[in-house]
Amino acid sequence: MTSSVLVFVVEDEEDIRKLLEEALTDGGFAVTVVADGASAMAMLDAQGADYSALITDVNLRGAVSGWDVARRAREINDKVPVIYITADSGHDWGSKGVPNSQLLLKPFAMAQVVTAVSHLINATATD
């Protein structure tokens, strides 16, 4: 895997954000991180389809949720892989999540995230 595979991480909990960034970097990915949904939306609008995958917490501080961020990412690039992470909103995934996404329930092992990103990127590449 090369560093040209850029993963966009949206997580408002600093400790989790740092762990995700470290695990993904160790897994061979380039990583961009933000701490809130409004910043994520601004970056998506500025960067467009430059991201290879999106990982977003569902319940972000502020008015913009992870569900909103993922929908915007898919408006820009309808094939971008999306991984939702949540401790308590998994039951909403079927109605609020974008198609062909994955959900990881907290707590999870960081290796699960790297595996999920790799799997979704590989699946998208073969479509």
CATH number at residue 116: 3.40.50.2300
In a domain, 73, yes or no: yes
Is 110 inside any structural domain? yes
- Please name the helix (run of DSSP H) or strand (run of DSSP E) that holds residue 85, with its range, or none: strand 82-86
The total domain count for the chain is 1
Residues 80-120: tens digit of each pLDDT: 999 999 999 889 999 999 998 999 999 999 999 999 999 99
Alpha-helix runs per DSSP H in the chain: 14-26, 37-47, 66-76, 93-96, 110-126
Query: Is residue 96 a part of any domain in this protein?
Result: yes
Cα angle 48, 98, 46; round to 5: 15
- Does residue 68 lie within any of the structural domains? yes
- Domain contains 1: no
Confirm whether 83 is domain-assigned. yes
pLDDT value of position 40: 96
Task: State percent of the chain over pLDDT 90.
Answer: 86
Please give the pLDDT value at position 71. Answer: 97
Are 23 and 50 within 8 A, CB to CB? no
The mean pLDDT value of the chain amounts to: 92
∠ Cα 84 28 118 (to 5°): 45
